[in-house]
Structure 1
Amino acid sequence: MTKYIKKSKEDKKKEMDQIIENLQNGVKEVFTSENYLNYLKFFSQFHNYSFNNVIMILMQYPIASRVASFKTWNKLGLKVKKGSKGIKVLVPIPYSYIKEEAVTDEFNQVKYDRDGNKVIEQTEVKGLTFRLGNVFDISQVEGEIPSLINELKDNPKGLDKAIESLIASSDVPINYDDTLNSNTAYGYYDLNEKAIYIRPDLNSMHMFKTLIHEKAHSMLHNKDQNKYTREEAEVQAESTAFVVCNCLGFDTSEYSFGYIASWSENKDLKELKVSLKVIADTSNEILNWIEETTELRGVDNNLNNMKEVI
């Protein structure tokens, strides 16, 4: 057996800082790839939704990731699958009209012109009203869609057992959803039920990473919080999953770098930079839960196996 040596707080912080630096550098490299240019061209045509609309979308369709109108999908050369149910959103309708008011003086007395008529001032009033509209998620359409991510295929020895222990011990219910597949999602956090759902046919490495991603969502993002944009929330969740996995000796860069790049508005990684403390604190909390619940331990150097306590 390999002896597990508990790390000091200083060593843990150095390791965390190095992993986060690797994360930032890895995501930056994605931005220089040809795949990113194709991806950017495709998704630059999507609309950014308000916080309230994002909550509406996720409460109706928890696995939603990218949504657009029927018309937009057609414009992109993709077809909404027959029988797909629309997701309701609030569509802003701008309006304007000319308002006429009598001009008053400093004593609030109405002014008159030389002919004895009231002096009238016209101003344009602008505003917004809303109506319900339908959008459809990317999982509800057919056609070739650019992607920056690759499913993780590894099955590290013993990781299945660790996943079972985490599912059994989680304060947030974690369930398998048999309806999820390669055309939908790997997992999701249900805002209504406050429960995590994971695709059951994933290899253990991707299942573990997905569990951590959704666990981070359950800790940081719910319908009662509006601190973060959808982009920030996704970057925080996947960055946490990357950090936790790397601290345990598992490399998820093949998936995580592209995923984080896809949710970053531009190459300055604003969403990641403003979230570094949140990511570090959440990662530490999840790592403590994993170490208390399973035999998984933080790794020394680049040893990619599990440590056992003797």
Structure 2
Amino acid sequence: YAYWEKQGVQVQKGEKGIKIFVPSPVTFIKRETEWVTWKDATKTEQKRAKEGALPTRKAMYYKIGHVFEYTQTDAREKGLEVSELFASYHRNGSIREAESFRRALNGIAETQDVKILDRPLNELGTAKGCFYPELNAIALNPRNSD
């Protein structure tokens, strides 16, 4: 919601956010025989962990967040195109041996009986790609570089 607000775009009244998993990394500190979260550790334990005197480990948890998609807003009515809104957020990069990498990914998809579509069925914004469970298919964003 905040992103759209910054763009001068309003989410349409009554729209419900799309639920997504949001990564939420958690650091644990070893307290004698048990692992406690960083926030549950004492200041002394946190200090000792920073100094390397107490072992730590990280784990990735996921919480539910909400996002609003382009069509849930008045962006189109304001003349803002998807490509304008997301152009600066779409990261590009390059890899060595791009063709070999692509062949390997196609091979993995084939072994999993997943089809790779030439084009996505809808606008992907900044997402690098998406999975269509009903088609058992993956589509990559056409704006991706290798």
Superposition TM-score, scaled by structure 1 size: 0.22
Instruction: Give 1 or 2: higher strand fraction.
Output: 2
Superposition TM-score, scaled by structure 2 size: 0.43
Pair member with larger Rg: 1
